[in-house]
Amino acid sequence: MNRRSRSSNIRTNKRGKAVKKIKKFSPKMQANLLLVFCLVILALLGIIGRLLYINSNVGDAYAKRVLAQQTYTSSSIPYKRGAIYDSQGTVLAFSDKAYNLVLDIKHMRGKNEENVEPTVKAITECYDFITREELNKLIEEKPNHQYVVLAKELSYDQKVKFEEYIEREKALNEDSKSMVKGVWFEEIFIRKYPNNSLASSLVGFTTKDGKGNWGIEQYYNDYLSGTDGISYGYIDNELNLQSKVHPPTNGNSLVTTINGYVQRIVQDHILKFNEEYGSKNIGVLIMNPNNGEIIAMASNEEYDLNNPADLSPYLDEETINGMTNEEQLDYLNGIWRNYIISDSYEPGSTFKPFTIAAALEEGLISENQTFYCDGGEHIGGWNIRCHKRTGHGTITLEQALAESCNDALMQMAQMLGRNQFYDYHTFYGFGQRTGIDLPGEASGLIVSEERLNETELATSSFGQTFTTTMLQMVTGYSSLINGGNYYKPHLVKQILNDDGHVVEEFEPEVIKKTASKKTSDFLKHALYKTVEEGTAKTAKVAGYQVAGKTGTAQKQPRSARTYVVSFIGHVPAYDPEIVIYVVVDEPQNVEKQANSAIATGLASEILADILPFLEIYPDESLIDTDDSQVGTDNNTDQGETPGSNTDQGEIPSSDAEQGETTENPENPDNPDDSGEPGTEQEDDEFNPDAIPDQDEGQEESEVSQEGNN
């Protein structure tokens, strides 16, 4: 700008001094300023509107992003797994609070490490299982670790001991800057089983991560489990510590149908029997036939639920150390496995009531029907004998069951024929799972309809050629003696929430109708006569009307001559309240293994002890009868051991519990056919070639553990 232009903007005042010309705020400038102001206001309103939108719609997401960028700490709050009760309210399983001792080494060390020594001293003085050397080494190796578990599952008293120590140290050293830091207790829950091995095969246990394994613990894992809570804190923009807690949701509890007292009695009797005689396995199942509730279920392999992986009660230390992890797990699975629902076997003569019921329902026979037993039947090229070589002669239907006549049963099976027999066989639940609320149920193994030829049909009529589980037998038998109602067996009847209120109840479930009341009434009477006058006399209990049927089945391979003996029955005979099934697999140290008195004697002893607990009381009028003491501890007829035959009278104990197939026309020299007609031979003897292998022509058998390892 030149001098002239500059001077044109300068004027002089009256004194001659130069004065700068002041520009006026023109209307145009005012309009521009107003426009800018309005734009700023609009921008601010837009920002405010956007903030309101974000806060109302995606505020939580932005808050999480902000928290993620700030310093914070969080910890999980464990849920409490639900308890398991028996039907009387006794606790079978519960979760107890415990504590893990945790050390934050980085926080403890701080900047100048002045808190290390007081912290080490406090920990080692309170807990003698942690040495100073171990702790110092840990601090040196992991200086920046913030979560180191020093001890697990400490009790409440152990936790309080440390806290009281800290309080004392604070009181003694109020002015000291060094103090205990970085130590805290993590709350956990540990599963406990106050009755140790009681109902172990039913209850199951939990793994280290809190998941159910085997039994009720596994089947109802989703009910028993809850949801962990969380506690977290963070430093906000103003450097204030903010914290928030989401409490855990505890699991539900279960009320079972198990009677703990009865279960204990059953397990004690099994233990006593094995100590005195021994067996490969014993199974005892007790059920309410009127609703399908399982009262007790036990077998040989009952283990400590608080230490389920302990092999020391079964194997010596040297054997255990010589096993691989896989071998140990296989052995443990054998212990944890529930014999009563997972193992199958040939039931023998305990199946005979089912054949009779089918023939009655079809109108092929009547209650007054008679049969002629001449010692056996010639079927499919085989002579299949009755246990009584000379034959029973003419007998009634009731006597056929009471005296366990194979000949009469084979005649009934011929009347039914292949199709009807197969239909009833499956209708009664054989060859399929019952649907009980337990994992690992097997389906058993039956002969398919197209392969059910004359021989298989005959031997199936008295419980050979196919396999079943104990649970299938009890469930089907219960339907035959309760009026024909086939109930789904179950172990849990109520679900309780954390406050103890019932949130779900499982009502008895009738699956189908298997028999008429008329058939059921006849079977109850005939089964009562079987105990009173027939093959099951040693099942009697003083003061009670006991009904039931014995069974003896030869195991495969037949050449091994090993047996399963059994008894299935109910009390009271005409108004049943419980069904009991006792199976002894290969009894040891007995005079004769194929002797059903082994099972009936054990059943009688168990019944005598459990009936009062179940509030089933004796009829005083029955106590003084001549033979009422049979089967009890003072039973003079039972003989010295379960294997003796002194109790048999005229009817052998193994009364064709085992059928005999002899006289193969292709082998006239068959040694099983030796002796004159009517000559007494071993009651259990028969030709194993007449019984097909279990895997030939038979339907599926599943004994898998359904996810158990």
* Ranges of CATH 3.90.1310.10 domains, the chain: 78-174+182-233+250-256
Question: How much is the pLDDT for 69?
Answer: 53
What residues form DSSP beta bridges with 684? none
H/E segment holding residue 164: helix 156-172
Instruction: Determine which of 13-22, 23-32, 158-167, 320-329 has the lowest per-residue pLDDT on average.
Output: 13-22
**In the CATH scheme, what is the code of domain 265-301+337-690?**
3.40.710.10
Nearest to 526 by CA among 665, 289, 367, 330: 367
Say whether the peptide bond before residue 652 is cis (omega within 30 degrees of 0): no
Question: How much is the pLDDT for 694?
Answer: 43
pLDDT tens-digit series, residues 188-207 = 999 999 999 999 999 999 99
H/E segment holding residue 552: strand 547-554
The secondary structure of 294-329, three-state, reads EEEEEECCCCCCCCCCCCCCCCCHHHHHCCCHHHHH
Judge whether residue 212 has pLDDT over 60. yes
> 179 or 12: whose pLDDT is higher?
179
- Whole-angstrom CA distances from 386 to 34, 274, 678, 684 are 119, 32, 11, 10
* Ranges of CATH 3.40.710.10 domains, the chain: 265-301+337-690
Question: How much is the pLDDT for 34?
Answer: 82
* CB within 8 Å of 159: residues ≥ 6 apart: 99, 185
Judge whether residue 523 has pLDDT over 90. yes
User: How many other CB atoms are there within 10 angstroms of residue 676's CB atom?
Assistant: 6
Instruction: Locate 582 and state its tokens.
Output: 């006792």
Question: How much is the pLDDT for 16?
Answer: 60
Cα torsion angle, 442, 445, 449, 451, sign: positive
For tokens 């089907």, what's the residue? 476
Mean pLDDT of the chain: 83
Angle formed at CA 389 by CA 388 and CA 393, multiple of 5 degrees: 70
Question: How much is the pLDDT for 73?
Answer: 61
pLDDT tens-digit series, residues 3-12 = 444 445 555 5
Class of domain 78-174+182-233+250-256: alpha beta
pLDDT tens-digit series, residues 538-576 = 999 999 999 999 999 888 888 888 999 999 999 999 999
Question: How much is the pLDDT for 640?
Answer: 35
pLDDT tens-digit series, residues 19-77 = 555 666 678 777 888 888 888 888 888 888 888 887 777 766 666 665 555 555 667 88
**What average pLDDT score do residues 380-407 get?**
92
Question: How much is the pLDDT for 462?
Answer: 94
Question: How much is the pLDDT for 19?
Answer: 57
**What average pLDDT score do residues 500-508 get?**
94
Which residue type does 460 have? S
DSSP string covering 460-522: HTTT-SSBB-HHHHHHHHHHHHTTSEEEPPBSEEEEE-TTS-EEEE----EEEE-S-HHHHHH
**What average pLDDT score do residues 676-683 get?**
29
Instruction: Locate 217 and state its tokens.
Output: 């613990």
**What average pLDDT score do residues 518-530 get?**
97
How far is the C-alpha of 243 from the C-alpha of 238, rounded, in Å?
Answer: 14
**What average pLDDT score do residues 503-515 get?**
96
Q: Are 348 and 552 in contact (CB under 8 A)?
A: yes
Residue 684 pLDDT level (bands cut at 50, 70, 90): very low
Prediction pTM value: 0.78
Question: How much is the pLDDT for 591?
Answer: 87
